[in-house]
Structure 1
Amino acid sequence: MASRPQKIPRDMPEGWLAFLMLLPAMALLGLIVVYPVGRLIYTSLFDLRLSAGSTEPIFIGIENYIFALTEDPQFWHATWNTIIIVLVTVPGSLLVGLGLALLANQPFRYRWPTRLALLLPWALPLVFAGLIFRWFFNTDYGIVNDVLNRLGLEGTSWLTRPNLAMACICLVIIWKSASFMAMILLAGLQTIPRALYEAAEVDGATRFQQFVKITLPMLVPSILVAMIFRTITAIQTFDIPYALTAGGPGNTTETLAMYIHKNTIDFLDFGYGSALAVLMFCVSMIATTAYLRFVKAGGSDER
């Protein structure tokens, strides 16, 4: 008995083929991003305080958000501290990272030790970096006060005075994150064609003119990418302030991430802590959207 001839399947439409190819990535994204964020938003709509002795969540709608925005001064204080860290450390990290990237990109013979040195601050764990600098700024036996005393100057209490403590936190964050910025900018520098600099030298352009007219414009995409990542991590700052000052003195250096940790882990208020986390997520999304709109507007102007 002869078998029936098999039908040759038609070509799959490109739209369905693209959907099937993207399906595993979409499923993974939904598992590790969409579901946790959705669960966080869901929990924020309930009163779920384990410290009250009840494990049954009570639906309260957006009351947690209203309380945070209108009745919780510590939320705004922690948010303001976070804004200060963003405004100080993002430009600071960019400037220091740009200088390090330019140094590592110089055509001297032994460049690899310089590039290796860029990785060391970035490779250190955040808490470890905070503990190191906590010892540096210690009032009694810290290396900073010891150097000042040897120079005939009087040391001070770096971590027990609010303004100085915040300055120390920003300094440590800049030191820690500048290497990350430098690595991204160094990658951008290496994509700039050398022929542009050679043509500028023929035209008599100085090094500063080459930097302003060639290097900076060509580095704009790398700078924006670095600033997006640095801004998001600055908004979520937790480890270094926690290790350096634990939010002290008092709660004067407490960041929004530390305040979320306090409510969720210390006070076991999962509903309110989830609402605070959602607000921080919204701030991160707003900052990222602003950067992306700027990038899109810049691309439209170039066309």
Structure 2
Amino acid sequence: MLSKLKDPSEKTLAILLLTPAFLLLAMIVVYPIGKLVYNSLFDINKTGAYIGFLNYTDVWRDPLFWNATKNTLLITVITVPGALVAGLGLALLANLPFKRKWPVRLSLLLPWALPLSFAGLIFAWFFNTDYGVVNDVFLRLGLIPESVSWLLKPNWAFAAICLTIIWKTSSFMALILLAGLQMIPRSLYEAAEVDGASRWQQFWQITIPMLMPSIVVALIFRTITALQTFDIPYTMTRGGPGESTETLAMLIHKYTIDYSDIGYGSTLAVFMFLISLAVSGFYLHHIGKNAS
């Protein structure tokens, strides 16, 4: 017995080393999710009684839930590819052989370092009807006859929010893709040039395939954060006009904070967690296929 304690087997040692990590994971992930599901089974706002899956059926019939889910998915579908394309362009630009690379790479970091709510306030000022930069520039160029209420029209407000999110998150994508670009051996491009491949052919036959693992990682992180979008639309439009720009995270905030309906808000959060889990599973499945 003493010898086993002094010289544990590899399995015992692995369990001992992984136990703190499992405990930490249970404390910061498993317990909050469990508490969320538990709260969703109660009518906490009114009677505090156990109501089972009544909140879930109410959510399923709630038009506000479907509207917020549609807006969230639409923001994800628009901003994730948009940020990827913009980020790839910025990464390729930053990877050029500048004499001093740190100012270029620092400029990539600044938009990502900017707080989300601050970015929303800046672009809300840009699109302001009375003193916004966008109206001023368009009027000077003669592109519009009069000032446009960008954030008061549903479609334009949604487009402004998507543009802001793409600007804010493209730098994050660029930093990940830049790291991937620096891992591509220069010898591959030299061999392609010897074979007579053009820059465009090198981009599609070397850069994109070699960069694919970094692209997938960037897409995973960006998609998960896109599904949780809150700060930028909240600071720009508060979900308006009406509920045309309200996201699922904003709807959860409305019920839990504004209405103090913790049970219903927890149910909405469970649905958002399931959507995020499904998207993560989709990406991981494709990562596994690519790895094999």
TM-score of the superposed pair, with normalisation by structure 2: 0.96
Amino acid at match of 1:85: I
Q: What's the offset of the Cα at 1:15? A: 1.3
1:99 lines up with 2:89 in the alignment = yes
- 1:34 is aligned to 30
Q: How does 1:222-261 map to 2 (within 5 A)?
A: 222-261=214-253
Q: What's the offset of the Cα at 1:8? A: 4.5
Report the secondary structure of 1:59's partner residue: coil
1:15 corresponds, among 8, 11, 14, to 11
Q: What's the offset of the Cα at 1:7? A: 6.1
1:138 corresponds, among 114, 123, 128, to 128
- 2:151 is aligned to 159
Describe the shift of the 1:161–1:16 C-alpha distance in structure 2 as closer, same or farther (beyond 3 A): same
CA distance in 2, matches of 1:7, 1:31: 32
Amino acid at match of 2:277: M
CA distance in 1, matches of 2:277, 2:95: 33
1:264 lines up with 2:260 in the alignment = no
Q: 1:17-52, CA deviations, whole angstroms, 9 ceiling, x for partnerless residues?
A: 111111111111111111011101100011111xx4
Amino acid at match of 2:291: G
Gaps of 5+ in 2: none
Report the secondary structure of 1:58's partner residue: coil
Q: How does 1:23-102 map to 2 (within 5 A)?
A: 23-49=19-45, 52=46, 54=47, 57-69=48-60, 71-102=61-92
Q: What's the offset of the Cα at 1:110? A: 2.2
2:280 corresponds, among 277, 288, 294, to 288
Q: What's the offset of the Cα at 1:108? A: 2.1
Report the secondary structure of 2:183's partner residue: coil
**RMSD across aligned C-alpha pairs, in angstroms?**
1.3
Report the secondary structure of 1:278's partner residue: helix
- 2:119 is aligned to 129
Report the secondary structure of 1:237's partner residue: coil
CA distance in 1, matches of 2:21, 2:193: 48
Q: Percent identity?
A: 63
Report the secondary structure of 2:239's partner residue: coil
Q: What's the offset of the Cα at 1:11? A: 3.4
Q: 1:245-272, CA deviations, whole angstroms, 9 ceiling, x for partnerless residues?
A: 0001111110000000000000000000
Describe the shift of the 1:194–1:46 C-alpha distance in structure 2 as closer, same or farther (beyond 3 A): same
1:192 lines up with 2:184 in the alignment = yes
Q: What's the offset of the Cα at 1:289? A: 0.4
CA distance in 1, matches of 2:209, 2:2: 58
Mean alpha-carbon deviation: is it higher for 147-156 or for 194-203? 147-156
CA distance in 1, matches of 2:63, 2:23: 40
1:215 lines up with 2:207 in the alignment = yes
CA distance in 2, matches of 1:110, 1:17: 48
Describe the shift of the 1:8–1:249 C-alpha distance in structure 2 as closer, same or farther (beyond 3 A): closer
CA distance in 2, matches of 1:7, 1:134: 69
Describe the shift of the 1:8–1:14 C-alpha distance in structure 2 as closer, same or farther (beyond 3 A): closer
Q: What's the offset of the Cα at 1:200? A: 0.9
